[in-house]
Amino acid sequence: MFHVYILKSINFPTTMYIGYSTNLKQRLIEHNNGKSIYTSKYRPWQLEACITFKEKSKAIAFEKYLKSGSGRAFSKKDF
């Protein structure tokens, strides 16, 4: 399964991160352990939303949409 996820910083509540992974649990641990350059300065993170897809191409397309202007507006309004 392919997961598109939205993380929210606990210490910086207006900061969100959108990503993609096949192992969501491990990826969240990596974000909270500072293994990502961008997310390390906003630790700790909590999972705000996760959308799971069977097809990799659909997950990647949805992640790309969420990172676009209209996708960010959608995620801020609905998540």
* Confidence band, pLDDT 50/70/90 cuts, at residue 79: confident
CATH number for position 12: 3.40.1440
pLDDT at 75: 83
pLDDT tens-place string over residues 2-11: 999 999 999 9
The token pair that represents 32 in the structure block: 């909270």
Range of the structural domain that residue 45 is part of: 2-78
* Number of domains, the chain: 1
pLDDT tens-place string over residues 30-59: 999 999 999 999 999 999 999 999 999 999
* Confidence band, pLDDT 50/70/90 cuts, at residue 78: confident
- What is the rounded CA–CA span in Å between residue 77 and residue 79? 6
- What is the rounded CA–CA span in Å between residue 38 and residue 1? 25
The token pair that represents 47 in the structure block: 């999972």
Which whole number is the average pLDDT over 19-32? 97
- What is the rounded CA–CA span in Å between residue 77 and residue 31? 24
- What is the rounded CA–CA span in Å between residue 30 and residue 39? 10
